[in-house]
C-alpha cells in the first residue's frame, strides 16, 4: 500500500557556460533568466595556457569573495579538461593528479553544488577512479557529476596506461564506460551521472537503460534542437518523450550553447514541454516519496490508523472495480426479479469502503443484501458504527472480530475483502481468506477470487543504494540484512530489464484447505542487452470477479489506481548481466505456525546465496 501527496514538481534548469571571463556577470545573467544553476569552468580561462604548472594562484580570480556562499551553492564547477590522469607517462600523470586534487579541494572549499568532469571515452580511467575515491574519502560533502555523452561515434584516443584493446570497436558504448566507472567508485551515491543528450538517439532499450542510472544532471546542447516554421527551437518527438522521463527523475537540465547565443527560447520550450507533460499511467498517481523505501504494512499485527484509512479510501479506481465485481456477482447469483436476500460478508471492513461498494452494488443490481462488516481493529469499529447509524440506516451488522476465528452460523453468499499487498499475498491474504472461508456457503463467491504475484528483474543503482542505507525504525533482529527484506517504493529511477512474469497464484475459495500456502517457482528471463541487476520489482494482478480485475503489473495496470506502490525485492550484491544470457530466479513462499516468509536465490548466470533463509531477516507475522 502506498501514500500520496499532491505537491507538483518544480523543474530545475541551468546553463552550461563554456567560458566565464566574468563570474559576477555570469551569475547576474542567470538571475535575469530566472534559472537555478550555472555550470562553469573552475579554472579561469586566462589561466589555461600555463595550467600545467602547479602554482595556480590565478585561481584567486574565482575567489570566494566574489560570490556569496549561497550563490556558490547554485554553481556546478567543471574541472580542467586537459588533465591526463591515466597517461602511461608517470611524471605528467602524477602532476595532473596533483592538479586534480587541488581543483577538487578548492571546489570543496567553495562548497559548490557539484563538481563536473568528463569521463574519458578511451575507457582508460582506473587512476581517475582512484582519485575520485580518494577525494570522496577526504571531502565528506562533495558531489561529482560525471559527464557522459549518450552516444559516441568514434573511439577515444589512446595514449594511456590501459591496453588499446579496451576499445577496439568503431563506436563506444558509453553506458558501459559509465557503468565500469560507477563500479570502480563502489556505486558511491555522490558519484552521479550528467548525461549529455545527442541529436541521434539510441534505441528504446538503451534509452530505458540510462533511466536506471543515477542521473542528476542532463546536458542538452542547442544542437539537438530543430527549428519550427516560426523559427523557434523544438525537439523531435522521441527527444520530447525522453526528456519528459528525465523531468520525472528530478534531474537538472543544463542547456549548453554557443557563447552569446540567446538560449531563452530553449528554456521556454522545455518549460512548455514540461507543463504539457501528461505523465504516463505508471507515474500519474502521486508525487513525492520517489525511490524512498518503506517497509510493507503488517495489518495482522499492527492496526492501521485513521490517516492511512482516509488516504486509501480516496482511490478513484479500486472501489469502482469492487462495486462492479459485487454487482456482477449479485446479478449472477439471483434470477432476475427474484426477491431473495443475499448475505455479503465484508471481512477486514476497515472504515467501510467495501460496505459502501456492497450497498451500491445492491442498488445497481436490484438484489437485496444483508451486509456483515467484520473488523478486528476496535478503533475502526467506532467509525463503522457511526457510518451504520448515519449513512447505512443500521442495515449493516458490524462485528468486532478476527475473520479467522469468528463463528458464523448463517454462512454468506459473497465474501468481500481487500487484503492484498503490493506483491499480492504479502499481507497474508491467503491465510486470512482460508481462515474466513468457513463463513462462506459451499457455492459462495470470494471477491477477489484469485490473485497472482509478478516479478520483473530491474536495474536501479538508486534503489540499491537506498536499500543498503536503509534504517528501519523497527527493532533490529540479530542477523537482519537489508537485502533480505521486501520494500514498497514509488519507483522512478529504474530500468525494467525484462517484462514481468507471473510467480504465485492463489484462488479463493479452495477445496484443499488442509494444504498450506507454500510455493516454489523458478522463473527464467532473457536478457536483451548488457545491464546490471539490482533486484526485482514485485507486482500483483487480482481477479475480483470474472473479467473484473485490479492490477499494478505494468502491462495490465489499472490506470489511476494509487493504493499500491510496487514491491522492491533486493539482492545482496549487484550482478552484471550480458546480452543473450539467461537470468534464472528461484522464489519460495514458506510458513510455520507463527509466520510466513519468502526466500529467493539466483542460479543463472551465476549462483547467488539463498536470501532470507529460515526468515532470519524478514517475515510476515500471522499473530
- Does 103 show up as a binding residue in the annotation? no
Residue 1: DSSP 8-state? -
For residue 393, how many other CB atoms are within 10 A of its CB?
9
Q: Contacting a copy of itself (CB under 8 A), which of 159, 261, 302, 522?
A: 522
Site map for a copy of itself, 228-267, x if CB under 8 A?
Answer: ----------------------------------------
Q: Does 613 bind a copy of itself (CB under 8 A)?
A: yes
* C-beta of 225 vs 588, nearer to a copy of itself: 588
Taking CB atoms within 8 Å and a gap of at least 24, the contacts of 242-247 are 242/197, 242/201, 242/207, 243/197, 243/218, 243/270, 243/273, 244/273, 244/274, 244/277, 244/279, 245/211, 246/195, 246/215, 246/218, 247/9, 247/11, 247/274, 247/277
Catalytic entry in 103, 213, 427, 553:
427
Q: Is 366 annotated as a binding residue?
A: no
Stretch that binds a copy of itself, among 102-110, 301-309, 316-324, 520-528 (CB under 8 A): 520-528
Q: Which residue has the cell 577538487?
A: 104
User: Is the Cβ of residue 130 or residue 480 nearer to a copy of itself in the bound state?
Assistant: 130
What are the φ and ψ backbone dihedral angles of 35, each rounded to 5 degrees?
-105, 165
Q: 514 catalytic, yes or no?
A: no
* Residue of 47, 66, 134, 295 that binds a copy of itself (CB under 8 A): 134
SS (H, E, C) 110-123: HCCCEEEEECCCCC
Q: Residue 176 or residue 382: which is nearer to a copy of itself going by CB?
A: 176
- Could you say whether residue 455 binds a copy of itself (CB under 8 A)? no
Q: Is 171 helix (H, G, I), strand (E, B) or coil?
A: coil
Shortest CB 500 distance to a copy of itself, Å: 20
Return the SS3 of 405. Answer: coil
Segment near a copy of itself (CB under 8 A), from 262-270, 333-341, 562-570, 605-613? 605-613
Distances (CA, A) of 312 to 87, 352, 430, 599: 59, 12, 21, 29
Is residue 413 at the binding interface for a copy of itself, with CB under 8 A as the rule?
no
Which three three-digit cell numbers place residue 594?
Answer: 507463527
Q: Roughly how many angstroms between the first and final C-alpha of the chain, as a whole number? A: 20
Which residue(s) pair with 400 in the sheet?
Answer: 375
Question: Is the Cβ of residue 485 or residue 563 nearer to a copy of itself in the bound state?
Answer: 485
Separation CA 290–CA 490 (nearest Å)? 5
480 binds a copy of itself (CB under 8 A): no
Q: In Å, what is the CA distance from 50 to each residue of 56, 185, 448?
A: 9, 31, 74
Would you count residue 616 as binding a copy of itself (CB under 8 A)?
A: yes
597 contributes a contact to a copy of itself by CB under 8 A: no
- Distance (Å, rounded) from C-alpha 239 to C-alpha 172? 21
- Please report how close the Cβ of residue 371 comes to a copy of itself at its closest, in angstroms: 38
Residue 318 in marked binding region? yes
Q: Which of 251, 274, 275, 255 is nearest to 265 (CA)?
A: 255
Does 610 sit near a copy of itself (CB under 8 A)?
Answer: yes
Task: Given the residues 103, 196, 323, 418, select the one marked as catalytic.
Answer: 418
**Window 161-180: residues binding a copy of itself (CB under 8 A):** 161-163, 179-180
Instruction: Say whether residue 138 binds a copy of itself (CB under 8 A).
Output: yes
What 3-state class would DSSP assign to 513?
Answer: coil
Nearest distance, CB of residue 599 and a copy of itself, angstroms: 6
CB 194 within 8 A of CB 147: yes
Our measurement of the distance from residue 329's CA atom to the centroid of its chain's CA atoms, rounded to an integer in Å, reads 36
Q: How many CA atoms lie within 13 A of 51 on its CB side?
A: 22
**Residue closer to a copy of itself, measured from CB, 90 or 271:** 90
Q: How far is the CB of 135 from a copy of itself (least distance, A)?
A: 9
Scanning residues 88 to 127, which ones bind a copy of itself (CB under 8 A)? 90, 93-94, 126-127
Binds a copy of itself (CB under 8 A): choice among 2, 601, 619, 620: 601
Q: Which is nearer to a copy of itself, 35 or 181 (CB)?
A: 181
Of 488, 434, 413, which Cα lies nearest the Cα of 1?
488
For residue 309, say whether it is annotated as part of any ligand binding site.
Answer: yes
Positions 572 through 591 that interact with a copy of itself (CB under 8 A): 573, 576, 584, 586, 588
Would you count residue 603 as binding a copy of itself (CB under 8 A)? yes
Three cell numbers written together for 527: 536478457
Among 518, 555, 556, 621, binds a copy of itself (CB under 8 A): 518
The residue whose grid cell reads 552516444 is: 151
Contacts of 242 (CB under 8 A, 6+ apart): 197, 201, 207
Do residues 192 and 137 lie in contact, with contact meaning Cβ atoms separated by under 8 Å?
no
Q: In this structure, are strands 233-234 and 501-507 parallel, antiparallel, or unpaired?
A: unpaired
Cis before residue 480, ω within 30 degrees of 0? Answer: no
**594 is an interface residue for a copy of itself by CB under 8 A:** no
Binding footprint of a copy of itself, residue count (CB under 8 A): 43
Instruction: By CB under 8 A, tell whether 136 contacts a copy of itself.
Output: yes
Q: How far apart are CA 206 and CA 215, in angstroms?
A: 14
Within 173-212, which residues bind a copy of itself (CB under 8 A)?
Answer: 179-186
The neighbour count for residue 548, using CB atoms within 10 Å, is 21
CA atoms in the 13 A half-sphere facing the CB of 547 = 0
Nearer to a copy of itself, 181 or 254 (CB): 181
- For a copy of itself, the closer of residues 161 and 297 by Cβ is 161
Name the minimum Å distance from CB 112 to a copy of itself: 21
Shortest approach of a copy of itself to residue 172 CB, angstroms?
Answer: 15
Which of 205/522 has CB closer to a copy of itself? Answer: 522
Binding site for a copy of itself (CB under 8 A): 90, 93-94, 126-127, 129-130, 133-134, 136-138, 161-163, 179-186, 518, 520, 522, 524, 573, 576, 584, 586, 588, 599, 601, 603, 606-610, 613-614, 616
Please give the annotated binding residues for S-adenosyl-L-methionine, written as ranges. Answer: 309, 318-319, 375, 402-403
Residues that are catalytic: 418, 427
Please give the annotated binding residues, written as ranges. Answer: 309, 318-319, 375, 402-403
Amino acid at each position: 500500500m502506498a501514500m500520496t501527496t499532491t505537491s507538483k514538481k518544480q523543474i530545475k534548469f541551468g546553463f552550461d557556460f563554456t567560458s566565464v571571463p566574468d563570474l559576477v556577470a555570469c551569475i547576474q545573467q542567470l538571475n535575469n533568466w530566472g534559472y537555478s544553476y550555472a555550470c562553469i569552468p573552475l579554472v579561469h580561462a586566462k589561466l589555461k595556457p600555463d595550467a600545467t604548472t602547479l602554482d595556480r594562484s590565478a585561481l584567486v580570480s574565482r575567489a570566494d569573495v566574489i560570490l556569496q556562499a549561497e550563490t556558490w551553492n547554485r554553481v556546478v564547477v567543471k574541472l580542467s579538461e586537459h588533465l591526463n590522469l591515466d597517461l602511461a607517462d608517470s611524471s605528467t600523470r602524477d602532476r595532473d593528479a596533483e592538479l586534480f586534487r587541488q581543483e577538487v579541494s578548492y571546489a570543496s572549499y567553495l562548497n559548490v553544488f557539484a563538481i563536473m568532469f568528463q569521463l574519458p571515452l578511451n575507457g582508460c580511467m582506473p587512476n581517475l577512479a582512484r582519485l575520485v575515491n580518494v577525494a570522496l574519502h577526504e571531502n565528506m560533502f562533495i558531489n561529482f557529476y560525471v559527464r557522459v555523452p549518450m552516444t559516441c561515434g568514434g573511439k577515444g584516443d589512446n595514449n594511456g596506461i590501459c591496453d588499446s584493446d579496451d576499445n577496439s570497436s568503431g563506436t563506444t558504448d558509453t553506458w558501459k564506460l559509465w557503468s565500469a566507472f560507477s563500479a570502480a567508485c563502489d556505486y558511491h551515491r555522490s558519484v552521479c551521472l550528467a548525461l549529455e543528450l545527442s541529436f541521434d538517439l539510441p534505441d528504446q532499450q538503451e534509452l530505458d537503460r540510462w533511466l536506471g542510472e543515477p542521473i542528476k544532471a542532463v546536458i542538452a546542447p542547442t544542437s539537438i534542437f530543430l527549428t519550427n516554421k516560426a523559427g523557434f527551437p523544438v525537439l523531435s518527438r522521441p527527444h520530447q518523450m525522453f526528456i519528459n522521463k528525465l523531468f520525472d527523475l528530478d534531474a537538472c537540465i543544463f542547456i549548453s550553447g554557443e557563447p552569446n547565443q540567446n538560449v531563452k527560447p530553449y528554456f521556454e520550450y522545455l518549460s512548455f514541454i514540461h507543463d504539457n507533460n501528461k505523465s504516463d499511467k505508471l507515474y500519474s498517481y502521486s508525487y513525492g516519496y520517489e525511490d524512498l523505501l518503506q517497509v510493507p504494512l503488517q495489518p495482522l499485527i499492527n492496526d492501521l490508523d485513521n490517516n492511512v484509512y482516509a488516504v486509501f479510501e480516496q482511490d478513484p479506481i479500486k472501489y469502482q472495480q469492487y462495486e462492479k465485481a459485487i454487482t456482477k456477482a449479485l446479478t449472477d447469483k439471483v434470477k432476475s426479479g427474484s426477491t431473495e436476500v443475499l448475505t455479503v460478508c465484508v471481512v477486514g471492513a476497515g472504515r467501510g469502503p467495501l460496505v459502501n461498494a456492497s450497498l451500491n452494488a445492491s442498488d445497481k443490481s436490484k438484489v437485496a443484501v444483508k451486509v456483515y462488516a467484520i473488523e478486528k481493529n476496535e478503533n475502526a469499529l467506532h467509525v463503522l458504527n457511526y457510518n451504520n447509524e448515519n449513512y447505512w440506516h443500521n442495515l449493516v451488522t458490524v462485528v468486532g472480530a478476527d475473520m479467522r476465528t469468528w463463528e458464523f452460523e448463517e454462512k454468506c453468499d459473497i465474501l468481500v475483502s481487500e487484503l492484498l499487498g503490493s506483491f499480492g499475498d504479502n499481507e497474508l491474504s491467503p491465510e486470512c481468506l482460508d481462515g474466513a472461508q468457513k463463513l462462506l456457503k459451499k457455492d459462495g463467491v470470494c471477491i477477489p477470487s484469485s490473485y497472482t504475484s509478478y516479478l520483473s528483474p530491474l536495474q536501479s543503482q538508486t534503489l540499491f543504494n537506498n536499500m543498503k542505507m536503509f534504517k528501519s525504525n523497527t527493532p533490529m533482529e540479530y542477523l537482519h540484512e537489508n537485502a533480505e527484506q521486501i520494500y514498497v517504493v514509488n519507483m522512478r529511477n529504474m530500468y525494467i530489464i525484462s517484462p514481468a512474469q507471473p510467480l504465485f497464484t492463489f484462488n479463493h475459495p479452495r477445496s484443499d484447505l488442509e494444504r498450506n500456502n507454500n510455493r516454489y517457482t523458478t522463473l527464467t528471463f532473457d536478457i536483451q542487452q548488457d545491464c546490471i541487476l539490482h533486484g526485482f520489482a514485485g507486482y500483483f494482478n487480482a481477479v475480483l470477479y470474472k473479467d473484473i480485475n485490479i492490477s499494478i503489473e505494468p502491462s495490465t495496470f489499472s490506470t489511476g489506481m494509487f493504493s499500491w506502490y510496487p514491491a522492491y525485492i533486493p539482492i545482496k550484491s549487484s550482478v552484471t548481466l550480458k546480452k543473450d544470457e539467461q537470468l534464472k530466479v528461484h522464489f519460495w513462499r514458506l510458513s510455520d505456525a507463527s509466520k510466513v516468509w519468502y526466500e529467493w536465490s539466483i542460479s543463472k548466470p551465476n549462483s547467488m546465496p539463498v536470501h532470507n533463509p529460515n526468515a532470519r531477516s524478514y517475515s510476515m507475522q500471522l499473530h
